[in-house]
Amino acid sequence: MSTLTVDQVRDYEKNGYYLYKSQLFSPEELQELTDIFEEQLAQKGSKLSDELDTPHFREERLLKFLLHDKVLDLVEPILGPNIGLWSSHFICKDPYVGRATPWHEDSAYWKGRLNGFDKIVTVWLAIDRSNKENGCMRVLPGTHNNGFSDYEEVDGSKNLFRTQIKNIDDSKAVYFELERGECSLHDSRIIHGATPNTSPYRRCGYTMRYFSTERKVLPERNPNFKIWLARGKDIAGSPFVNA
């Protein structure tokens, strides 16, 4: 059953994002997901806390959440009935030292890996409360229709990425302030980023990324990368591990 109304989908299509200010999972499910994250964090070794990418490749318990009807019901009104699981990522900004996320488009980092980017949505679930103080996500509304931007290099020790979009005017930025268990949705092409976490409060989120199977994932450009058919059927012939 869809959890977005027609008007909410229209807002998403216009702005490139939507804030879902309701609890996505039950308290028990959210705690289970949090416990898995804490395990991953404890096992990260020398990696920084913001580098826990594709954790579902090594922890299959995460597929319970990534393929959950509550999540798929949320994205189906945007993507349609045929949905692939593209990726996931624990993004944790530690107190005081959490790095900034430079202005970027997700699609720019995936360029060449799929044959289109207009049918990809990220669900960003707040594991911790996320606000301006601890470096919540911020977006520039409507920029998902602009195409690929021009980038420049930045200091990798202070930023999650080594490049950022040039000449950004952040005066119209919208900040995604979320309580624990709430989530946001954003288009893969929208310009977004986050300030560093200089607060005493950790900021962790779990990104769950989905695409319409009308888009094809190119296997030759995705070595050792795994995707799942989450709902419906494979339209374009992508290499799903469970199709």
What pLDDT, on the 0 to 100 scale, is given for residue 47?
Answer: 60
* pLDDT score at 48: 57
All structural domains of the chain with their residue ranges: 6-231
Surface-to-core class of residue 35, CB atoms within 10 Å of its CB (0-12 exposed, 13-18 middle, 19+ buried): exposed
State how far the Cα of 144 lies from the Cα of 117, in Å rounded to an integer: 10
> What is the biggest distance separating any 2 CA atoms in the chain, rounded to whole angstroms?
47
Q: What is the residue-wise DSSP string for 137-163?
A: EEE-TTGGGS-PPPEEE--TTTBSSSE
User: Hey, which residues does 87 pair with through a beta bridge?
Assistant: 209
Integer Cα distance of 75 and 63 in angstroms: 16
Question: Residue 51: what pLDDT?
Answer: 61
CATH 1.10.1040.10 fits 6-231, yes or no: no
| Residue count of the chain | 243
Q: Which residues pair with 19 in a beta bridge?
A: 184
Residue 153 has a pLDDT of 86
Tokens of 155: 């200091």
Contact of 18 with 8, CB cutoff 8 Å: yes
Closest among 124, 42, 45, 127 to 87, alpha carbons compared: 124
Per-residue pLDDT for the chain (243 aa), expressed as one digit of tens each?
668 999 999 999 999 999 999 999 999 999 999 999 999 888 876 565 556 789 999 999 999 999 999 999 999 999 999 999 999 999 889 999 888 889 999 999 899 999 999 999 999 999 999 999 999 999 999 999 988 899 998 886 776 777 889 999 999 999 999 999 999 999 999 999 999 999 999 999 999 999 999 999 999 999 999 999 999 999 999 999 997
